[in-house]
Structure 1
Amino acid sequence: MRDLIMLAVFSLLIWKTMKEPIWGVLGWVWMGVMNPHRLAYGWAHDAPWSMVIAVALFASIFIHRDKLTKFPVNGVTVLLLIWILWIGVSPMVNSFYPDREFASWSRAFKVLLMVLVSMLVVQRRRDLDWLALVLVVSIGYYGIKGGLFTILTGGSARVWGPEGSFIEDNNSLALATIMTVPLIRYLQLQATKKWQRYAAIGAMLLCMASAVGSQSRGAFLAIVAMSFFMWLKSRNKLPLALVVLVALPLMFVFMPESWTDRMETIKTYDQDGSAMGRINAWHTAWRLALDMFPLGGGFTVAGPAAFAKYAPDPTIPLTAHSIYFQALGEHGFLGLFVFVGIFWLTWRRAALLMRATKNLPELQWARDLAAMCQVGLIGYATGGAFLSLVYFDMPYYLVLIVVALDRLVAREMETRTRAAIAAGIRPADVHSPYWGGAS
């Protein structure tokens, strides 16, 4: 039955994609982030849904090419292009296991390529709202279900994601859930009905409960950082502060002793085998990057060969468990610089956007969305410090949203300036010009 439902929904999605490319983008995001086919039990479970929707999207782009927007050329997109090229260099030059590189490279390449392709399609507020909604539904499904599971089990069991996805393990799902909370907050701020706002509050609380129930120490730190920045960046700070100050302590109080014991190992990391294994992997990535400067060792550095040569303790070869050391070990110092630069410039672009729309009520929604994207990136930067999720889709979709939003606001500000000039008013007397630099 689930297979047939999947086929029916997907067929509708393909039909809509051929009429309008944005549906192909939304379908790709849905398939890549939620992995709904993993909820089926028959033939649909392993069918090549993503490939089919990608082909349909490219066909639709060709058919409707006259309706596409120009590709935005700015610091963020330039670094994204460099990143796509650079992740193919280390695997070809320094790989310890050349025959194993292609699968990992292909997976990362497809995520990044589709983000760039989506920049040609996403161009209206409607597109951005739909994209935010798809991301919320895709991760929120697991977050809400996981939150209910955590409450019903008293937090005694961990919450896991869909198999074969970036968010399969409990730690990765927790981080994805945390990054989704700011987007739910954005949708709540735009909601016009009271029940929608209350539903959003419930979804945010359940998603945070799910992240807490993952028993991930990185997620715990990410929740704290994300909650503070979400309060800092939000309008209507008092109601949000009351919810956070009441709900989060209650979550922590009702968690079992096993959760408390695990969180306390943050202070005594030197006595925890898992933490020391990660530190061993970080040392390995650092030594390898120094030796292979400016390249890294490719996608397969988390194996016995690299650890035998570079690790302080070669008997515990682990993945980097850190987006920073993963990027460093796999793609060297230049790769790390480009990777961090993408998100740093995205943050700066969002900040400029917020400044430009500060006193424009009609663009308050854009300011809200930019702010919540910043909060999501804070969650990724904090929780990602303890997870190997360099190629996880979600943060790159936040980059996509900010770049598209930047272009949309720049277009709106240009229209306002032209209207002011036509009316004989100096642009400076209307509002400060927007220097977002969108193309």
Structure 2
Amino acid sequence: MRDIILLLIIGWITLQAFRRPWIGILGWTWLSIMNPHQLTWALKTMPFAAAMGGATLIGLFITRDRRDYSQTHESITLMLFMAWMCITLPFSLIWDESFELWKRVMKIDLMILVAIVLLHSKRHVMLLTWVLVISIGFFGVKGGAFTLATGGGYKVWGPENTYIEGNNEVALAIVMVIPLMRFLQLQMTAKWAKTTMTVCMVLMAASALGSHSRGALLAIAAMALVLWWRGKNKVMGAVAMVVIGAALLSMMPAEWWERMGTIKTYERDESAMGRINAWWMAYNVAKSNFFGGGFYIWTGSLFAIYAPDPNDTHAAHSIYFMVLGEQGFPGLFLFLTLFTMVWFTAGKLRTKAMAQPQTLWLSQLGSMLQVSLAGYAVGGAFLSLSYWDLPYNLLILAVVGQRWLQRKEWLREKEEPVIYWPEFLKKRFEKKKRAPLLP
């Protein structure tokens, strides 16, 4: 039954993508981030993302909806990064595997550019944010409840056959989505809705801790610091963070504390030293090959040539060293430039959108995007998620928000139901109420 329902939902979204390709973008994002078909029995190998992406691309050229082909600093830099990855591909040290990963990355980046063309309204921004929150929140809230129920004795893992299958990867995804949940909470008016979102955010934090990921702990700390600094009431904010943090940490078992303690004694931890060995290997590859080694260099044969310890083969475990080893120093420069631009664009939204009450929501979005990016910058230093969709979806939100603000869309945009989910349900319920019978 679950498979049939999911098949009907995906089929409906795919058909809608021909006429309303922005719906296809939301569906593509949902499939790419959450991978709901991996939770089914018979649909795991179905090419749903390809079908929805194809329908969206067709819809892009035949739709009558608004499209914006104007370029921004972020979109130009992303295209330069894509072009550089195309240039480096022929120089890959291991061609076959590198070509397969290149195709996957190109598909993701292409759909990011398509999203920038198709999304333009406040409603689009809110819907995309909800898609990201639901896609990761499903695993985070469930993982948080599991962590509380088991006292943190077991690790939280991500969905199989996805970018975030590992405990470290799903933890970073959860950490990055918490600020987006906070943004949505700020748009809510119902007290019960705000309370529900607070509970979900606490469960998300518990899930990140329950992953036993040291990188996630550092990412949470970085995000909490930025969030506290941006808060209006710093005293109450600090008290709330300390109370919630102490409550969550107090329930974690001894083995969790032992693992976190290795952050200070990394030189005696095999996993940490393996990562450092992989980082040196990436640096040596980039130093010896101007175009990098290609998308697939984390193998024993290349470690034997470039790594200080040739017998200790590891994945990159760093967004920075992953790009450095695979795309060389020019690729790393473009990668860092891209997300630095996103950071400053979000900062402009945070400051400039305060001027009008109608744009306050955009100021809050910019602030939370920066908090999320801080988590990605710190947590990503220890994880191989350089090309995953979620950080690039933050880019979409920043670019679309910046365009909306520059064009003063709030002065001419038609009043339409912006998706603040609890209020939406409330309106639907009120419409269905029957008029009282006359005596």
Aligned counterpart in structure 2 of residue 361 of structure 1, from 357, 361, 367:
357
Aligned counterpart in structure 1 of residue 78 of structure 2, from 77, 80, 94:
80
How far apart are 1:350 and its partner, in Å?
1.4
- Quote the Cα distance in structure 1 between the aligned partners of 2:270 and 2:171: 21
- Quote the Cα distance in structure 2 between the aligned partners of 1:154 and 1:105: 41
The residue matched to 2:118 in structure 1 has which SS? coil
TM alignment of 1:195-344, pairs within 5 A? 195-234=192-231, 240-293=237-290, 295-344=291-340
CA deviations over 1:138-167 (Å, ceiling 9, x no partner)? 000000000000001110100111111111
TM-score for the superposition, normalised by structure 2: 0.91
Aligned equivalent of 2:110: 113
How far apart are 1:169 and its partner, in Å?
0.4
Q: Residues 414 and 187 from structure 1, CA distance in 2 versus in 1: closer, same or farther, beyond 3 angstroms?
A: closer
Q: Which amino acid aligns with 2:49?
A: S
Task: Please tell me whether residue 69 in structure 1 is matched to residue 84 in structure 2.
Answer: no
Large movers: runs of 4+ above 4 Å: 234-240, 413-416
Q: Residues 300 and 7 from structure 1, CA distance in 2 versus in 1: closer, same or farther, beyond 3 angstroms?
A: same
CA deviations over 1:231-287 (Å, ceiling 9, x no partner)? 323456565444322111111111000000000000000000000000000111111
Task: Please tell me whether residue 399 in structure 1 is matched to residue 395 in structure 2.
Answer: yes
- State, as a whole percentage, how many aligned pairs show the same letter: 42
Aligned equivalent of 2:23: 23
Q: Is the 8 A contact 2:145 2:203 kept in 1?
A: yes
Aligned equivalent of 2:368: 372
- Quote the Cα distance in structure 2 between the aligned partners of 1:392 and 1:67: 28
Aligned counterpart in structure 1 of residue 174 of structure 2, from 159, 174, 177:
177
The residue matched to 2:342 in structure 1 has which SS? helix
Q: Which runs of 5+ in 1 are unaligned?
A: 417-439
- Quote the Cα distance in structure 2 between the aligned partners of 1:195 and 1:396: 32
How far apart are 1:16 and its partner, in Å?
2.9
CA deviations over 1:322-354 (Å, ceiling 9, x no partner)? 000000000000000000111001111111222
How far apart are 1:92 and its partner, in Å?
1.1
Q: Which amino acid aligns with 1:82?
A: L
Task: Please tell me whether residue 33 in structure 1 is matched to residue 33 in structure 2.
Answer: yes
Q: Is the 8 A contact 2:347 2:366 kept in 1?
A: yes
- Quote the Cα distance in structure 2 between the aligned partners of 1:47 and 1:165: 14
The residue matched to 1:47 in structure 2 has which SS? coil
Q: Residues 11 and 325 from structure 1, CA distance in 2 versus in 1: closer, same or farther, beyond 3 angstroms?
A: same
Task: Please tell me whether residue 99 in structure 1 is matched to residue 90 in structure 2.
Answer: no
Q: Which amino acid aligns with 2:12?
A: L
- Quote the Cα distance in structure 1 between the aligned partners of 2:6 and 2:185: 29
Q: Is the 8 A contact 2:350 2:365 kept in 1?
A: no
Q: Is the 8 A contact 1:234 1:368 kept in 2?
A: no
How far apart are 1:406 and its partner, in Å?
0.4
Corresponding pairs, count: 412
Aligned equivalent of 2:46: 47
Q: Which amino acid aligns with 2:298?
A: A
Aligned equivalent of 1:431: none
Q: Is the 8 A contact 1:123 1:408 kept in 2?
A: yes
Task: Please tell me whether residue 150 in structure 1 is matched to residue 147 in structure 2.
Answer: yes
Task: Please tell me whether residue 140 in structure 1 is matched to residue 152 in structure 2.
Answer: no
Aligned equivalent of 2:10: 10
Aligned equivalent of 2:416: none
Q: Is the 8 A contact 1:233 1:372 kept in 2?
A: no
Q: Residues 327 and 345 from structure 1, CA distance in 2 versus in 1: closer, same or farther, beyond 3 angstroms?
A: same
Q: Which runs of 5+ in 2 are unaligned?
A: 413-439
Q: Which amino acid aligns with 1:136?
A: V
Q: Is the 8 A contact 2:68 2:118 kept in 1?
A: no
TM-score for the superposition, normalised by structure 1: 0.91
- Quote the Cα distance in structure 1 between the aligned partners of 2:183 and 2:239: 18
Q: Residues 267 and 99 from structure 1, CA distance in 2 versus in 1: closer, same or farther, beyond 3 angstroms?
A: same
Q: Residues 414 and 162 from structure 1, CA distance in 2 versus in 1: closer, same or farther, beyond 3 angstroms?
A: closer
The residue matched to 2:301 in structure 1 has which SS? helix
CA deviations over 1:32-70 (Å, ceiling 9, x no partner)? 00000000012x121111011111111222221x43332
Please report the RMSD computed on the Cα atoms of aligned residues, expressed in angstroms: 1.5
The residue matched to 1:120 in structure 2 has which SS? helix
Q: Residues 198 and 236 from structure 1, CA distance in 2 versus in 1: closer, same or farther, beyond 3 angstroms?
A: farther
Aligned counterpart in structure 2 of residue 381 of structure 1, from 355, 364, 377:
377
Q: Residues 358 and 171 from structure 1, CA distance in 2 versus in 1: closer, same or farther, beyond 3 angstroms?
A: same
Aligned counterpart in structure 1 of residue 157 of structure 2, from 160, 181, 187:
160
The residue matched to 1:46 in structure 2 has which SS? coil
- Quote the Cα distance in structure 1 between the aligned partners of 2:15 and 2:324: 42
